[in-house]
Structure 1
């Protein structure tokens, strides 16, 4: 059994449904290729740095209840925090990403560490760009 999890990081993606449709298709194809039945899907429109997403919490609870694997189109849809992934894996959750079908738990930890670093770099670049434009200094240049 598998529980699908979909996440769009910005409201515009969630409203357009384009990202969700691609993710759904990927999750369905992965579950089918694994011989698993997709028993539930949960979704959020939120940042991956926040673990308190209602859809994520519901998907995790459903996996625990059914002993199902948690499947997302990409690993960074589940989380971009190494701590979160490690905690889930250590708690016995089976986590799988459709774009990394052969990844074992170690490889997923490495990929999430890279996603976390990329999120940090993006945040820093955004702050620097906003500072150059005067947005942070209040000058309104």
Structure 2
């Protein structure tokens, strides 16, 4: 029988104390699991927001999923609503890419995202395409603004420093991961480049070179 991680999250201490929201999430996931013949292992983050992926139980779940398929004891992660997992399209896109690389499923019941099915994969791919389009549009607007400022003789930019913890995490991942896998994992963990942008294989390579030269 397939075993999935059921991830639950509430953001306020009042919800933690009362149990409001948790019961509804658990019930929704359990009914979906029963319909698909899944066993569920529960992970719960209490009193934490979804602004980033830096949540203890979510990170524990992702670490469990990151084990190579032959040794992995779970097939994916399921949430009742996408906002329980992430409020950021970019972060969610990173999780989907990581899942595709490591071959585990992501299920967000409210949106019909279930990458264990063809239709769910289609919905996930549309969401990732939208996220990529949004990044490109933002990048294009930034480039146009910087070019305009340059023509006017104004400097536009800032000095950005990569946090040491992020650099250390990059080094650790590169010991066992490809450039692309490292980029996906860094994005999935909510870590960003020095300029606040998502990681790519090219960015990982450039930053690794700088770190080695430092």
Say whether the fold is shared (TM-score over 0.5). Answer: yes
Q: Which moved more, 1:84-93 or 1:8-17?
A: 84-93
After TM superposition, give the deviation of residue 85 of structure 1 in Å.
1.1
Distance 1:15 1:108 in 2: 34
Change beyond 3 A, Cα 1:75–1:107: farther
Distance 2:19 2:4 in 1: 22
Distance 1:47 1:68 in 2: 25
The Cα RMSD (Å) is: 2.3
1:1-141 residue pairs with structure 2 within 5 A?
Answer: 1-38=3-40, 40-45=41-46, 46-65=48-67, 66=72, 67-92=74-99, 93-101=104-112, 103=120, 104-109=123-128
Preserved CA contact (<8 Å) 1:4 1:59: no
- TM-score normalised by length of structure 1: 0.68
Preserved CA contact (<8 Å) 1:75 1:108: no
| Stretches (4+) displaced over 6 A | none
The structure with the larger Rg is: 2
After TM superposition, give the deviation of residue 25 of structure 1 in Å.
0.7
Unaligned runs of 5+ in 2: 114-119, 132-214
Change beyond 3 A, Cα 1:11–1:81: same
Aligned length: 111
Query: Which SS does the other structure have where 1:91 is aligned?
Result: helix
- TM-score normalised by length of structure 2: 0.47
Preserved CA contact (<8 Å) 2:93 2:127: no
Query: Which SS does the other structure have where 2:110 is aligned?
Result: coil
